[in-house]
Amino acid sequence: MGVAFLVIAIIGEVIATSFLRASQGFTQLVPTLVVVVGYGFTFYFFSLALQTIPVGIAYAIWSGVGIVLISIIAFVVYKQVLDLPALIGMGLILAGVLVINLFSHSAMH
């Protein structure tokens, strides 16, 4: 269940972070509520994931996948351009997450 909780936490974090810009410095009610509720939801499920996944591994996966997903959303929704170094960096982040999950004995399998 730890992996499922981590996936839910990542989804919640991506949704909440995606609404940060729309909240306009927490001056817009609905986007602000999505951010606050989303992060609360995220940290609750992240805490559940930490019951079975080591914190360093869980955080590396959470932040790595979150960075890539938020960058994709920023590209699609806000038309932010990703240059070659950004794409290479995200590829390296994904490679790191894969290495942790496939080869590390620290990760929960």
Q: What is the pLDDT of residues 67-77, one digit of tens each?
A: 989 999 999 99
What integer pLDDT is reported at residue 102 of this predicted model? 81
pLDDT band at 107 (very low <50, low <70, confident <90, very high): low
Q: Please give the Cα distance from 52 to 19 (Å, whole number).
A: 30
Q: CA geometry: angle at 98 spanning 77 and 14, to 5°?
A: 30
Instruction: Answer for the pair 25, 74: CB distance below 8 angstroms, yes or no.
Output: no
What integer pLDDT is reported at residue 108 of this predicted model? 57
List, as one string, the DSSP characters of 66-86. HHHHHHHHHHHHS-----HHH
Average pLDDT over residues 87-100: 88
pTM: 0.84
Q: Please give the Cα distance from 69 to 76 (Å, whole number).
A: 11
Query: Tens digit of pLDDT for each residue in 14-58?
Result: 999 999 999 999 999 999 999 999 999 999 999 999 999 999 889
